[in-house]
């Protein structure tokens, strides 16, 4: 191989390396390509009552289990004087979000009050859309501590919500 052929070969190798590095740099610098954001649990607003009266000081515990990333999390809030509570959305991120997979997030909300625990919301989310739990409607709950836990239609075909809370 003469020096001209050698230089041409090296130029081609370096060009391929530069293109690969530039592609990686673009991938990592463009957030929409590098990290995908997923709505794991939409925001929740609700009120807790007992015999029709607001329950202040009830502990609202929320948890989720994201099967794709084997990630769990939990948080909690306390109801105010009007029995109201708010849980902000939970968003997960994944680097290889473009890989095909079936979304599955186990969601739980429980209410702790007066030494008892009540299942308020038991649901399996099968999409990553904000408010995807109820086909685009925000999650608004009316939770009567005397209500029996029941299965309710969520608005998503073949998906039900279990718990004491009514969907509003």
Contact 118, 124 (CB under 8 A): no
Rounded to the nearest integer, the mean pLDDT of the chain is 87
Task: Record the tokens describing residue 51, joined without a space.
Answer: 């015999």
Taking residues 124-146, report their average pLDDT: 95
86, 85, 91: which is closest to 66 by C-alpha? 91
Q: How far apart are CA 152 and CA 155, in angstroms?
A: 9
The residue ranking higher by pLDDT, 156 or 33, is 156
- Looking at domain 36-167, its CATH class is mainly beta
Task: Parse the chain into domains and list their residue ranges.
Answer: 3-33, 36-167
Please, which pLDDT band fits residue 102 given cuts at 50, 70 and 90? confident
b/e burial code for range 139-154 (CB count within 10 A of at least 16 → b): bebebbbeeeeeeeeb
Q: How far apart are CA 110 and CA 75, in angstroms?
A: 11
**Burial, 131: exposed, middle or buried (Cβ in 10 Å; 0-12, 13-18, 19+)?**
middle
**Burial, 79: exposed, middle or buried (Cβ in 10 Å; 0-12, 13-18, 19+)?**
buried
Collapsed DSSP state (helix, strand, coil) of residue 8 = helix
Taking residues 64-81, report their average pLDDT: 95
Please, which pLDDT band fits residue 28 given cuts at 50, 70 and 90? low
Q: How far apart are CA 129 and CA 155, in angstroms?
A: 14
pTM above 0.85, yes or no: no
pLDDT of the residue at 146: 97
């Amino acid at each position: 191989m003469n020096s001209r052929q050698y230089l041409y070969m090296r130029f081609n190798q370096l060009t391929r390396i530069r293109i690969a590095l530039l592609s990686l740099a673009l991938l990592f610098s463009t957030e929409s390509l590098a990290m995908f954001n997923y709505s794991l649990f939409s925001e929740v607003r609700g009120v807790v009552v007992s015999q029709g009266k607001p329950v202040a000081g009830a502990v609202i515990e929320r948890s989720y289990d994201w099967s794709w990333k084997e990630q769990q999390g939990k948080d909690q809030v306390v109801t105010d004087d009007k029995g109201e509570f708010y849980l902000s959305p939970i968003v997960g991120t994944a680097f290889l979000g473009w890989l095909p997979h079936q979304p599955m997030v186990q969601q739980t909300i429980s209410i702790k009050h007066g030494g008892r625990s009540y299942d308020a919301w038991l649901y399996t989310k099968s999409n990553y859309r904000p408010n995807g739990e109820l086909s685009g409607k925000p999650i608004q709950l009316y939770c009567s501590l005397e209500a029996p836990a029941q299965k309710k239609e969520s608005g998503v075909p073949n998906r039900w919500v279990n718990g004491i809370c009514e969907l509003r």
